[in-house]
């Protein structure tokens, strides 16, 4: 059952990404990325990480991609002018992508048996907000504080850069 | 208990962060650059930076003896010395910033807050003991730099530079992140200490493979920030397009921080890297030196030339990774001190010479500068000579110690290539000097008048020149400083 | 039947590679930036898959998302500035400097 669900959602995810690559309108690209992110959230659920799934929907699909859509609507750019990239670039991109994938896949598959056996699997069930919160405020306190500063800085920067009259 | 040690070690950063937030809150009440109130902010920033420096020395005096391996941030002597250098760079920039920003009509109080926040990210990077902290520190640094580069909104070249750096920067952080994921998969932790312990304990071949792949990706992410050769294509364009004063900051501080992170990760914790990935890093160092120097020769635009020269310098710095633990920190610290001071000085003078609108300075524009402005010409020559590595300048001391301790570690081949490269670099560093002193003033069109030097600029350039000369003529002070800092832990 | 971890990792590697292909293929700045977001998502999937029932993976995902949101804010602000100055989002139009 789990395997079938995995197949379904990974298929949706890959199809959405391929659609994004071949779409001309940027609105459709953004929407297919939303689909991809939503199916990734389902995969997180399969991996016993409901907290990650929830924030994937809330932050990524909900906030970041909506921001993208807002900007697209605001600017209303003309669609990609039909010609696209020159053929040489297309070839280069394909070769590069295949080789990157092949390299990563080889490294990962070489260590396959380690990944399946190496870690003692803890009996703990799902990773919910409680476990995440405990780890976040103990072990990962410093990165959390730094992220706070980072978001303040990004807010400041977005206003400085984009506001018409400061 | 651990928490109180951590907060004590982070006292300078807490000060800087609180100061930055205070400035953010203060700026809405001080409108416009002509307002007297907003002129307070540069002074306030300087005060905060000096306060952080005092705090740094206080913390350094009663440093706990245990190296605090289990925390995600270490306030050890290595990070102390680098944080001192970062504070110094920020102070020099905030001294010179106001006249430049007012000339370009982009003076905002928020600039100073951004500077303090970026310092925070860089300090985290220099003391991080956890890959996740390193990632967040790197992002604070990069996102701050994206904003600084885009600050001059009306300038098309600056926009393009900012976008280019933004896109390539976020790709490199994606690679960095994937590398962390692989290391995390191989060892089950992001703590350096845990990685190291796991590396020692089980010699599982498959785990090592995954770990090495992750390390390579992490190296790529940091190599981008340092503009090492296969990942350098952004450097020249970004340096050319961005406002000169911001380039002065941008070519020094992030390199110091990224180099500190690279050192902490690859030299401290993976001594065995010499054998596995050493060749890879060695080739990158050679390629950066050689290509950087060769590309710099043909440049007419002085900013582009300095961009390629900084690529070459990053190549020299990589040598420090191969030096073993005892002397590596000292050499790297001295090299980065000299590098950042001479680069700061050179770019600050260029941002003065470029005049309103920040047009690019070509070699031709420098002709006859010695007649018109003997002081500026002499200082620029000092910085260029120091970049070459002429004796009695800081650049010489730095190169001498770096190459010397690399030789002690048996890196003969790399040192020979580096010395040959330094000889080549003399050609393009000395060309502007020749233009300034030997070429006559151009008749037509008459060069733009260089305005009198604002006092902040004079102080900032003076600090950089003083540091260079001090390091060049009396290096023992700084060596003792750096060594004392390093001995405290042993 | 449980799914082996390697399948998830394979999917994440595929998404990462597709994201980098998209960066080269697309000319629209916004879409290029979306491809970077896709690469970050691929890394996140790898984190969750590797963490195998521990909290660390979710924590890292949380922090990465916060970072990505900050990056998106600044990046989109840059896009808006570029568009105001040029009235175009085509990366081929941005060739003021050589190299």
Domains of chain C: 5-88 (1.10.287.3510)
Q: Which residues of A touch C80 (CB under 8 A)?
A: 71, 74-75, 161-162
pLDDT value of position A118: 47
Binned at pLDDT 50, 70 and 90, residue B274 comes out as: very low
Chain C, nearest residue to A109 by Cα: C6
**Of B438, B288, B419, B331, which Cα lies nearest the Cα of B377?**
B438
Q: Which residue, of A57, A78, A99, is where some domain finishes?
A: A78
Q: Which residues, other chains included, contact B438 with Cβ-Cβ below 8 Å and sequence gap of 6+?
A: none
**Chain centroid, CA B456 distance in Å:** 21
CA angle centred on C56, ends B265 and B78, rounded to 5° = 25
Cβ(A152)–Cβ(C71) below 8 Å:
no
Of B132, B178, B189, the CB nearest to C16: B178
Q: Which residue, of A51, A78, A105, is where some domain finishes?
A: A78
pLDDT value of position A24: 84
Residue with tokens 């995440």: A132
Cβ(B92)–Cβ(B460) below 8 Å:
yes
A146, A160, A166: which to substitute to probe chain B, counting the most B Cβ within 10 Å? A146
Of C43, C82, C98, the CB nearest to B163: C82
Q: Given a contact as 3+ CB pairs under 8 Å, which chains touch C?
A: A, B
Q: What is the domain-level CATH number for residue A63?
A: 1.20.120.1200
A73, A75, A81, A163: which to substitute to probe chain C, counting the most C Cβ within 10 Å? A75
Q: Which residues make beta-bridge pairs with B128? A: B73
- φ, ψ (nearest 5 deg) of residue A27: -65, -45
Question: Does residue A161 lie in a domain region?
Answer: yes
Q: Given a contact as 3+ CB pairs under 8 Å, which chains touch A?
A: B, C
**Residues B177-200, mean pLDDT to the nearest whole number:** 83
Q: How far is CA A66 from CA A30, A73, B163, in A?
A: 9, 10, 21
pLDDT value of position B315: 93
pLDDT value of position B325: 62
Q: pLDDT tens-digit profile of B41-55?
A: 999 999 999 999 999
pTM of the model: 0.93
Asked if B110 has any chain C CB less than 8 Å from its own CB, the reply is no
pLDDT value of position B5: 75
Question: Of the ranges A69-83, A136-150, B251-265, which one carries the lowest mean pLDDT score?
Answer: A69-83
Question: Does residue A73 lie in a domain region?
Answer: yes
Rounded CA-CA distance B133/A141 in Å is: 9
**Of C85, A47, C95, C43, which Cα lies nearest the Cα of B175?**
C43
Q: Which residues, other chains included, contact A133 with Cβ-Cβ below 8 Å and sequence gap of 6+?
A: none
Q: Which residues of C touch A162 (CB under 8 A)?
A: 76-77, 80-81
**B75: pLDDT strictly greater than 80:** no
Q: pLDDT tens-digit profile of C34-88?
A: 999 999 999 999 999 988 778 888 999 999 999 999 999 999 999 999 988 887 7
Contact C52 A105 (CB under 8 A): no
Question: Does residue A10 lie in a domain region?
Answer: yes
Q: Which residues of C touch B217 (CB under 8 A)?
A: none
Q: How far is CA B158 from CA B100, B161, B304, in A?
A: 15, 5, 14
- The answer to whether the Cα torsion of B271, B276, B277, B283 is positive or negative is positive
The DSSP symbol for B231 reads G
Q: Which residues of B touch C80 (CB under 8 A)?
A: none
Q: How many Cβ contacts (< 8 angstroms) between chains A and B?
A: 95
Rounded CA-CA distance A71/C84 in Å is: 12
Angle between helices B394-408 and B475-487 (to 10 degrees): 50
Q: Is C6 exposed, middle or buried (0-12, 13-18, 19+ CB in 10 A)?
A: middle
Which of the residue ranges A74-78, B28-32, B348-352, C70-74 has the most confident prediction, judged by mean pLDDT? C70-74
Binned at pLDDT 50, 70 and 90, residue A159 comes out as: very high
Cβ(B282)–Cβ(B126) below 8 Å:
no
Rounded CA-CA distance B136/B152 in Å is: 26
Q: Which residues of C touch B303 (CB under 8 A)?
A: none
Q: Which residues of A touch B143 (CB under 8 A)?
A: 150, 153-154, 157
The DSSP symbol for B449 reads P
Helices (H), chain C: 5-25, 29-51, 55-86
**Residues B363-372, mean pLDDT to the nearest whole number:** 83
Angle between helices B253-262 and B302-322 (to 10 degrees): 20
What token pair was written down for B453?
């030097």
Rounded CA-CA distance B403/B421 in Å is: 12
Please enumerate, as own/partner, the contacts of B384-387 that have beta carbons within 8 Å and a separation of 24 or more: B384/B346, B384/B429, B384/B430, B384/B432, B384/B433, B385/B429, B385/B430, B385/B433, B386/B338, B386/B342, B386/B468, B386/B472, B387/B309, B387/B313, B387/B342, B387/B343, B387/B346, B387/B425, B387/B429
How many other CB atoms are found less than 10 A from the CB of residue B30? 16
Of A6, A64, A153, the CB nearest to C3: A6
CA angle centred on B292, ends B290 and B297, rounded to 5° = 100
**A120: pLDDT strictly greater than 50:** no
**Chain centroid, CA C35 distance in Å:** 5
Asked if B206 has any chain C CB less than 8 Å from its own CB, the reply is no
Helices (H), B62-191: 77-103, 109-127, 131-150, 156-187
Distance from CA of A124 to the nearest CA of C (A): 7
**Residues B80-87, mean pLDDT to the nearest whole number:** 92
Reduced to 3 states (helix: H, G, I; strand: E, B; else coil), residue A147 is helix
Rounded CA-CA distance B248/B94 in Å is: 11
**Residues A138-151, mean pLDDT to the nearest whole number:** 92
Contact A37 C41 (CB under 8 A): yes
Contact B120 A110 (CB under 8 A): no
pLDDT value of position C1: 56
Contact A47 C27 (CB under 8 A): no
Binned at pLDDT 50, 70 and 90, residue B72 comes out as: confident
Of B132, B140, B185, the CB nearest to A153: B140
Q: How far is CA A78 from CA A64, B67, B359, C51, in A?
A: 22, 58, 32, 43
How many structural domains comprise chain A? Answer: 2
Rounded CA-CA distance B56/B137 in Å is: 19
Q: How far is CA A31 from CA A8, A82, A145, B479, C65, in A?
A: 19, 20, 33, 58, 19
Of A115, A142, A154, the CB nearest to B143: A154
Contact C38 A33 (CB under 8 A): yes
**Of B140, B282, B153, which Cα lies nearest the Cα of B225?**
B140
Q: pLDDT tens-digit profile of B127-141?
A: 888 999 999 999 999
Rounded CA-CA distance B132/B127 in Å is: 12
Proportion of chain A above pLDDT 90, given as a percent? 45
Of A112, A150, A160, the CB nearest to B110: A160
Q: Given a contact as 3+ CB pairs under 8 Å, which chains touch B?
A: A, C
Higher-scoring residue by pLDDT: B38, A55: A55
Show which residues on chain B lie within 8 Å of chain A, measured between beta carbons.
6, 17, 20-21, 24, 71-73, 108, 110, 113-114, 117, 120-121, 124, 130, 132-133, 135-137, 139-140, 143-144, 146-147, 150-151, 153, 182, 185-186, 188, 204, 206-207, 209-210, 213
How many other CB atoms are found less than 10 A from the CB of residue B439? 15
What's the whole-number average pLDDT of chain A? 85
Rounded CA-CA distance B124/B118 in Å is: 10
**B489: pLDDT strictly greater than 50:** no
Of A33, A59, A104, the CB nearest to C65: A59
Cis-peptide, bond into residue B438, ω within 30° of zero? no
pLDDT value of position A103: 86
A149, A151, A152: which to substitute to probe chain B, counting the most B Cβ within 10 Å? A149
Chain A, nearest residue to C90 by Cα: A80
The DSSP symbol for B130 reads B
pLDDT value of position B1: 47
Rounded CA-CA distance B247/B110 in Å is: 18
**B418: pLDDT strictly greater than 60:** yes
Residue range of the domain that includes A59: 1-78
């Amino acid at each position: 059952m789990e395997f079938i669900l995995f197949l379904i959602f990974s298929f949706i995810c890959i199809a959405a990404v391929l659609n994004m690559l071949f779409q001309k309108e940027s609105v459709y690209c953004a929407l297919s990325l939303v689909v991809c992110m939503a199916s990734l959230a389902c995969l997180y659920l399969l991996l016993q990480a409901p907290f990650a799934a929830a924030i994937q929907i809330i932050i990524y699909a909900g906030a970041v991609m909506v921001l993208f859509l807002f900007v697209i609507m605001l600017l209303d750019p003309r669609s990609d002018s039909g010609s696209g990239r020159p053929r040489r670039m297309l070839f280069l991109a394909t070769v590069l992508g295949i080789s990157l994938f092949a390299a990563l896949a080889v490294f990962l598959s070489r260590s396959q048996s380690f990944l399946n056996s190496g870690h003692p699997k803890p009996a703990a069930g799902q990773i919910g907000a409680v476990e995440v919160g405990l780890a976040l405020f103990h072990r990962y306190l410093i990165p959390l504080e730094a992220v706070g500063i980072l978001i303040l800085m990004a807010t400041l920067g977005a206003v400085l850069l984009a506001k018409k009259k400061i | 208990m651990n928490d109180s040690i951590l907060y004590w070690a982070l006292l300078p950063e807490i000060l800087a962060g609180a100061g930055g937030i205070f400035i953010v809150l203060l700026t809405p009440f001080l409108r416009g650059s002509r307002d007297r109130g907003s002129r307070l902010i540069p002074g306030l920033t300087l005060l905060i930076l000096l306060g952080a420096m005092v705090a740094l020395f206080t913390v350094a005096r009663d440093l706990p003896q245990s190296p605090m391996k289990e925390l995600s941030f270490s306030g050890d002597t290595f990070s102390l010395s680098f944080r001192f250098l970062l504070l110094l760079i920020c102070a020099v920039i905030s001294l010179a910033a106001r006249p430049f920003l007012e000339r370009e009509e982009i003076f905002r109080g928020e600039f100073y807050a951004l500077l303090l926040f970026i310092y925070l990210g860089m300090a985290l990077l220099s003391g991080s003991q956890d890959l996740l902290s390193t990632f967040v520190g790197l992002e604070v640094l990069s996102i701050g730099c994206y904003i600084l580069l885009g600050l001059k909104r009306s300038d098309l070249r600056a926009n393009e530079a900012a976008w280019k750096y933004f896109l390539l920067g976020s790709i490199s952080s994606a690679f960095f992140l994937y590398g962390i994921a692989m290391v995390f998969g191989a060892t089950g932790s992001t703590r350096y200490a845990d990685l190291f312990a796991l590396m020692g304990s089980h010699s599982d071949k498959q785990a090592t493979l995954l770990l090495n792949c992750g390390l390579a990706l992490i190296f790529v992410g940091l190599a981008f920030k340092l503009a090492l050769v296969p990942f350098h294509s952004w450097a020249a364009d970004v340096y050319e397009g961005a406002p000169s004063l911001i380039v002065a900051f941008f070519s020094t501080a992030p390199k110091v921080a990224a180099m500190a992170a690279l050192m902490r990760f690859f030299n401290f914790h993976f001594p065995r890297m010499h054998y596995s990935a050493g060749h890879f890093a060695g080739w990158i160092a050679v390629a950066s030196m050689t290509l950087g120097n060769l590309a710099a020769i043909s440049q007419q635009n002085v900013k582009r030339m300095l961009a390629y020269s900084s690529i070459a310098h990053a190549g020299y710095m990589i040598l420090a990774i191969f030096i073993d633990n005892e002397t590596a920190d000292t050499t790297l610290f001295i090299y980065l001190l000299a590098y950042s001071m001479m680069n700061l000085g050179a770019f600050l003078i260029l941002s003065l010479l470029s005049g309103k609108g920040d047009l690019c300075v070509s070699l031709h524009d420098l002709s006859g500068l010695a007649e018109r402005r003997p002081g500026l010409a002499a200082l620029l020559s000092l910085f260029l000579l120091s970049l070459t590595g002429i004796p009695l300048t800081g650049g010489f001391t730095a190169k001498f110690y770096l190459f010397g301790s690399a030789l002690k570690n048996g890196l003969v081949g790399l040192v020979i290539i580096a010395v040959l490269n330094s000889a080549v670099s003399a050609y393009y560093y000395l060309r502007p000097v020749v233009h300034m002193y030997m070429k006559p003033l151009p008749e037509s069109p008459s060069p733009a008048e260089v305005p009198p030097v604002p006092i902040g600029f004079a102080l900032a350039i003076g600090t950089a020149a003083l540091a260079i000369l001090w390091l060049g003529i009396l290096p023992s002070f700084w060596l003792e400083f750096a060594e004392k800092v390093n001995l405290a832990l042993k | 039947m449980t799914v082996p971890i390697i399948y998830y990792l394979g999917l994440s590697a595929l998404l990462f590679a597709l994201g980098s292909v998209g960066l080269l293929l697309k000319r629209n700045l916004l879409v290029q930036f979306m491809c970077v977001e896709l690469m970050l998502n691929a890394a996140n999937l790898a984190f969750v898959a590797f963490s195998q029932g521990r909290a660390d993976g979710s924590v890292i995902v949380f922090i990465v998302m916060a970072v990505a949101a900050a990056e998106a804010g600044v990046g989109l602000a840059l896009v808006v500035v570029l568009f105001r100055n040029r009235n175009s989002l085509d990366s081929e139009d941005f060739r003021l400097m050589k190299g």
